Structure 1
């Protein structure tokens, strides 16, 4: 009787392992990606994060594979590695991204292109890499991490807003294209969270003779203050777990404090000029 009981436990354990969903998180070495990966690992998911140099990261709470979203060869290699080890890939969380600040007039165009390559085209290339496996499985979920800033053009963050807004629209399109294969695609737009995102931004310098010197510096200080006082990234992790457990996810999700989410509603109901005036007052322009 004892041996049968142990055998039954072993079978149930093996079944649970087989049913654990395999998750790939781009940009999983720090910030929101790390918080989400650690949380999902604790919930029993098989999680792989990505980093451009995973060997340099010690004692990470989940597995890391090498991937640079601007390098298609590394994307293909990372996806192949996960699938070869686990036999499947159930969830992609497209989280890798970078920020950029500065007056558009003074920001180098090549720096703008780098941010588009990371935030938009990088996310697209990772989606393209995982879709064949998900189509073969007849199931899969892609969660694109965008930003509440992607719903509006913000002063001195217009390029960042544009990259995230573009990814929201791309998601709407590809979602319809792949739905017939049993694959779901959705966006989740975070507001300000307490992470190290500011350290990875491209900051256009505050030039001494710039006509934007005063307003740009004030807005840089305001942005940093928002990040420093931002919410706990665990809220993003909980939101993403809820999305994963939702059979038919919505197209758009927003995660942030009330006023950040309410700003999107205001944009829909106010006139363009009234909403612009509201933003300019907020940013002291």
Structure 2
């Protein structure tokens, strides 16, 4: 009888970080199931794609049940599915904020709750939640997205304390800008206001320029593998040089100075800094 593969479930696995992570996990010896919101295509590679909308508890339960029926276990869950939103707080309705949270936060909550019973029964498991540097340093025109990542970080830390004694660990991977289509797929503000037009356009241009020279999804995937396989994992793993630099700055640079640096980068009025 051959060696049994470890089994990974990766949400949002058809592009960007999710796709790179799925392929890296295959290379690391995992049997990988990846989710897509669209109808799953016929298998063509080493990653088994399954249809799952993490905004639906029923869809998540069906996907997790499918993997457990096929593989009998889920050793690793990578919560990668998510969406961005660039705009001022006043540019978006409460409903749009809720839409973003439903995917970025409650989507991860749904998948965690679905896989945890089987992990606890086996006494082992790892959950890697893909956060962001905006999970520890908020930025202007990213309030909703940053808030969702802050929420994911708090949830992950609390959950890790609860399940650590049962052999399950929950860790965070925090990328900065990544060379993906993430910016092109962002939600568009549903109530844009003229008062923020110039500043919003400036932020959009800065992000576009940063993504063009950012880390590759494959670089982030390497960090996910490290977080997934570490015998004694850290709580957080920054992915890429910029993310590591921002984490150091958060710890060492005085808050007021960091605030001024951020406003300068975003080309905002520095009155009061």
Q: Same-fold call, TM > 0.5?
A: yes
Structure 2: gaps spanning 5 or more residues? 269-273
Superimposed CA distance per residue, residues 228-250 of structure 1 (whole angstroms, 9 cap, x where no aligned partner): 22111111121122222211211
Q: Distance in 2 between matches of 1:61 and 1:221?
A: 37
Change (3 A) 1:77 1:116: same
**Are residue 212 (structure 1) and residue 196 (structure 2) matched?**
yes
Matches within 5 A, 1:185-204: 185-204=170-189
Q: How many residues align?
A: 268
**Are residue 226 (structure 1) and residue 210 (structure 2) matched?**
yes
Q: Distance in 1 between matches of 2:243 and 2:113?
A: 31
The residue number in structure 1 matching 2:77 is: 92
Q: Distance in 1 between matches of 2:70 and 2:39?
A: 17
Q: Secondary structure at the match of 2:232?
A: coil
Q: Distance in 2 between matches of 1:189 and 1:225?
A: 20
Q: Distance in 2 between matches of 1:197 and 1:53?
A: 17
Return the TM-score normalized by structure 1. Answer: 0.89
Q: Secondary structure at the match of 1:197?
A: coil
The residue number in structure 1 matching 2:38 is: 53
The residue number in structure 2 matching 1:70 is: 55
The structure with more radius of gyration:
1
The residue number in structure 2 matching 1:271 is: 254
Question: 183, 186, 190: which one pairs with 2:168?
Answer: 183
Q: Which has the higher helix share?
A: 1
Residue 61 of structure 1: how far off its partner (Å): 4.7
Structure 1: gaps spanning 5 or more residues? 1-10
Matches within 5 A, 1:1-285: 11=1, 14=2, 16=3, 18=4, 20-55=5-40, 59=44, 61-204=46-189, 210-257=194-241, 259-285=242-268
Q: Secondary structure at the match of 2:105?
A: helix
Superimposed CA distance per residue, residues 209-237 of structure 1 (whole angstroms, 9 cap, x where no aligned partner): 71211111011111122222211111112
Change (3 A) 1:162 1:57: farther
Residue 104 of structure 1: how far off its partner (Å): 0.5
Residue 271 of structure 1: how far off its partner (Å): 3.1
Return the TM-score normalized by structure 2. Answer: 0.93
Q: Distance in 2 between matches of 1:68 and 1:227?
A: 27
Change (3 A) 1:173 1:87: same
